[in-house]
Structure 1
Amino acid sequence: MPSPHHTLGRVVVAPEVSDAVARGIPVLALESTIFTHGLPRPRNLEVAREAEDHLRRRGVVPATIGVVDGRPTVGLSPTEIERLSSEDGVVKVSLRDLPVVTAKGLSGGTTVAATAFLASSAGIRVFSTGGLGGVHRDAQQTFDESADLPTLASLPLVVVSAGVKSILDIPLTLERMETLNLTVVGYRTTDYPGFYIADSGLDIEYSADSAAEIADIARARDALGIVSTLLVARPVDADHQLPPDLHDAVLARALDAATTAGVTGHDTTPFLLDYMQRETGGRSLDVNVEVYRGNVALGAEIAAALAGADGC
């Protein structure tokens, strides 16, 4: 029986998504690690469904991206989303992992890097996530840097995030973004956000006041022939952020605990995030959800603005 999907090589693209891209209907890419690894059950599935419902109500086609039985899929079905949300053994898939999980027939949630790559391969132009990966603390010794940054530097996307997680080295991350020619604009602010908090204490040069202005910047980039992602930094609303004093105190304790426990490498981020969750009584998870909701809403506006501009 033929597959109900269209394929690009080994990438499966849902017909709804490929049709929308072909017809210029707004499409927004969404990652799957937020519900495979980022949130506890059953909240993870609720958040995934809510994001897709929000987009459909606004006339934007959701393209949630993940890997199902070795099939990188752009536009997961409701059944596939439920499965990835509930099954044990679902792996975390960055770009370097895609060939392995494809060949082995594994299922996984895609990170920012893998999601961005698959979205771009399907012709999608806008992607909303929670927080970006970046340069880790002590990277001068460990060379620990997320694959998100170099991957996004090679793709002509617009990516909405709440900055990078505050457990990372934000000053070094911003320096790397500059080196990689990643354009960064704040959404209605020049204060660079720190995911859990609205202001990391660092500034960026440019802001954009509307989705239409962001779409104009993306179109100018394309007209200039620049192939790199436009990063839109949207801070969490101040009334939904972690109180900065609480955030700073818990983060300091988390970093000390990681050092004491000898946690290094790829184990550091999950350790620190888990510590933040426990020590804030789950409030950091609430912030995570609020961040995601806001970024999905802005991503929908940008996708619609780009589609509208193209149709002029």
Structure 2
Amino acid sequence: MLKRVCTLIIRRGLLTFQNDGAFRVHPSVSHALAENRPVVALESTIITHGMPYPHNLSTAREVEAIVRAQDATPATVGVIEGKVHIGLSTEELDFLARFDGSVKVSRRDLPYVVSQGLSGGTTVSATMIAAQRVGIPVFVTGGIGGVHRDGENRPLFQECRSKMKEILGVCASLKCPSIRILLRSSRMTGLDISADLTELGRTPVVVVSAGVKSILDIGRTLEFLETQGVCVATYGPSKDFPAFFSPLSGFTSPYQVSDPDKAAQLIESALSLGLHSGVLIAVPIPQEYAAAGQQIERAIQTALAETNARGITGKDVTPNILQRVNELTQGKSLQANIALIHNNAKVGSQIAGVLSKRVKKRKSSIASYHPAKQCETNIVVVGGINVDFIAKGKTKTLQFGQTNPGTFCQSYGGVGRNIAECLSRLGHQPMFISVTGADSQSDAVFNYCKHMDTSGVTRLEGQSTATYCAVITENGELSLGLGDMDIHQLITEQYVSQFEKQLLSSTLVCLDGNIPASTIRYVCSIAKQHNINVWYEPTDSKKACKPFLSDAWKSLSYASPNLAELCTMNKTLGLQTPKVLPNSLEQVLSLAVALSRPLLEHLHCLVVTLGENGVVVCGEHHVGSVNLKPRIEKKTRKLCALHYPALSVAAHKNVSGAGDSLAGALMAGIIQGRDTDACVRMGLLAARLSLASPHPIAPMLSTQSVEPDRIQNHSWPKPTFMWID
């Protein structure tokens, strides 16, 4: 039964992770992404609006075959009945090729098409959005849109530009960069600009195309791309910018990349800089088809004149011109079109393959940590990292032995990883020390945790990344958990000792209960010798005992157990504990304080989490509160406790990361030197965000979201002060 449940969680969890709202990811694409294999995004307006049937379908299939021949996975993007499909089946390709009611879907059209359940082909801009959504860096198309010809001669634009010059002329003497950009734009644009260009300016996806369609104003298009901050490079031996059907447009690219290696190097740099803009790689049409370029250009001029005479405007211009050009050239433009698309697919797939290898190599070098290369950090977290599959029932109780209605999702957890992520999102950069397997799950983990310092995480060949499956009730309580955590035992004393320099320079070291007891003893021995503050997060009631099996616990400064874990700590020390935990709040608080007292003989502070009853902070009394500041030396002190009620949560989605969020935010507040009230309030806000999120650490967690001042002081529940005898 458990095996069936967990298999279902894994399968359904992956599906839910891949199919997010209006987006549907084909299994071949999702598997390739998870394994860091090259994937190439392809648009579908060429199928729905670019070519007649059956040429559109055969070309689409040929392009996908070319991508596969280069050991990459094609991901043709299209909208089918209101769902954006990233990767199309054979049947879905055929449907789009034959369907007469297809919509040409750009960024502006996506909301309406999705809301109305319509079908259509995605343009460059919509395809870029879909590719960026799932992490596909390379997108291949025929040619991009641009600034339309003769737009500057339209009466409306003439009037607007005249007024703009009057206004900007007054401001030009200010020499403001923004004013200069506006002046330049007033000269450059014709008020008819493709959404492809603005999308390239705000979406970090690489577009491989045959340059700009020659029916457009190529000079103004290149200027507009520069204004948008788009890096443009011609592929091959020349910097000549191609004009779709011709390798020469009369314009020069700012840059040039000679081969897939140089292109991948450029792309990797662009993406790593976090510029939030795309890259355009312009690939000239194959030389054997370029000879027909002059004939096609003459046909374009004729088609343009006819289009203007017929009053055709907007997004209908391009397909009408292309159709007319095909007629005038007796099919030669269609042949050239297909040839350049085939060539782009080959080049783009080769670039994607090299880029994938470079990314894998970089991640491998990050995982293969060498201590001498690392800089000192003030927080170190040692603990587990898991891939979590969460099944949430839609009822208050779950019936085993039968199918229960529920929802499924995949997330990334592990107590150590959760705390490290929480600290990272709150403005710190803790070094996280852990291990994973050298498998596809670890690829997904490293990709998700790229905002963290994972230089202390090593992939181990022949091992499986820790996996945790949980079945929770409607209100978020754990009903069943199953974990494959054996790899955590490989976070050994010998492994962690590689990072002794970082441990010695740290302000705070956090240990989670998943690591071996011998590793905990090793870190505690260093802490004792060098007066380092160590925070212990017990993880669960069975693992809470690990530091207390020896005198290692006496070197801890902080611990954050729940009441059951606190009982385990006392019981391990041979102290009396109740067999049944009390129910009333008064009895719960009394027990928490009583069980904390013997541990505070050596620990600086205990943070006892009580679920819906909030948290009790126990430690040294200081000015009517508990002193949370890092301990400098042990001394005799007067002890007290503060009980903080929990913050209300509208709906519990997941309870697995609330305690870790609380602990991580408390640590952040302590390191920042905040007072006790501020630290605890930060922790409570972080815990509330976690409870309302399907992820252990809420993605929206930030320094602003846990700022205590964002909630009026009178709205905070008052803490209850208690003396500890």
Question: Normalized against structure 2, the TM-score is what?
Answer: 0.42
Task: Verify the 8 A CA contact 1:242 1:284 in the aligned structure 2.
Answer: no
* C-alpha displacement of 1:198: 1.2
The partner residue of 1:83 within 72, 90, 95 is 95
Structure whose CA Rg is larger? 2
Aligned partners of 2:37 and 2:118: how far apart in 1?
Answer: 31
Pair 1:58-2:70 in alignment: yes
Q: Secondary structure at the match of 1:186?
A: strand
Deviations along 1:256-292, one digit per CA (max 9) or x if unpaired, are: 2223223333332222222211110111111110110
- Write the mapping of 1:157-172 to structure 2, written as runs, cut at 5 A: 157-172=205-220
Question: After the TM superposition, which residues 1-312 of structure 1 pair with which residues of structure 2 at under 5 Å, given as runs?
Answer: 6-140=18-152, 141=157, 143-188=191-236, 189-241=238-290, 243-312=292-361
Whole-angstrom distance in 2 between the partners of 1:237 and 1:231: 18
* Structure 2: segments with no counterpart, 5+ residues: 1-11, 158-189, 362-725
Residues in 1 aligned to 2:318 and 2:334: alpha-carbon distance in whole angstroms: 15
User: 1:126-180: CA deviations, max 9, x gaps?
Assistant: 0000000111112333511100011121111111000111000100000001000
CA drift of 1:211 comes to 0.7
Indicate the larger mover: 262-271 or 198-207.
262-271
Cα offset for 1:4?
A: 6.5
Question: Contact 2:209/2:282 (CA < 8 Å) preserved in 1?
Answer: yes
What 5-or-longer segments of structure 1 have no aligned partner?
A: none
Contact 2:292 2:332 in 1 (8 A): no
CA distance in 2, matches of 1:46, 1:249: 28
> 2 CA distance for matches of 1:54 and 1:265?
33
1:185/1:206 contact within 8 Å kept:
yes
Write the distance in 1 (CA, Å) between the matches of 2:272 and 2:138.
17
Preserved contact between residue 128 and residue 295 of structure 1 (Cα < 8 Å)? yes
Return closer, same or farther for 1:263/1:10 CA change in 2, 3 Å cut-off: closer
SS of the residue aligned with 1:192?
A: coil
Q: Percent identity?
A: 42
Matched residue type, 2:356: A
The one-letter code sitting in structure 2 at the alignment partner of 1:161 is: S
Aligned residue pair count:
311
Moved more, 137-146 or 226-235: 137-146
SS state of the match for residue 202, structure 2? Answer: coil
Q: What's the CA shift for 1:9?
A: 2.6
Q: Which is worse superposed, 201-210 or 26-35?
A: 201-210
Cα distance between partner residues in 1 of 2:293 and 2:285: 12
Bigger mean CA offset, 126-135 vs 220-229: 220-229
The one-letter code sitting in structure 2 at the alignment partner of 1:260 is A
The Cα shift of 1:205 comes to 2.6
- Report the Cα distance in structure 1 between the residues aligned to 2:48 and 2:263, rounded to whole angstroms: 30
Tell me the SS of whatever aligns to 1:35.
helix
**1:235 Cα deviation after fit:** 0.6
Distance in structure 2 (CA, Å) of the matches to 1:256 and 1:224: 44
Q: Secondary structure at the match of 1:202?
A: coil
Give the aligned residue type for 2:26.
A
Q: Which structure exhibits the higher relative contact order, with contacts defined as CA atoms closer than 8 Å and separated by 6 or more residues?
A: 1
Q: For 1:143, give the aligned amino acid.
A: L
Question: What amino acid is aligned across from residue 216 of structure 1 in structure 2?
Answer: Q
Deviations 1:66-98 (A, max 9, x none): 011111110111111111111221111111111
Provide the rounded CA distance (Å) in 1 between the counterparts of 2:41 and 2:23: 15
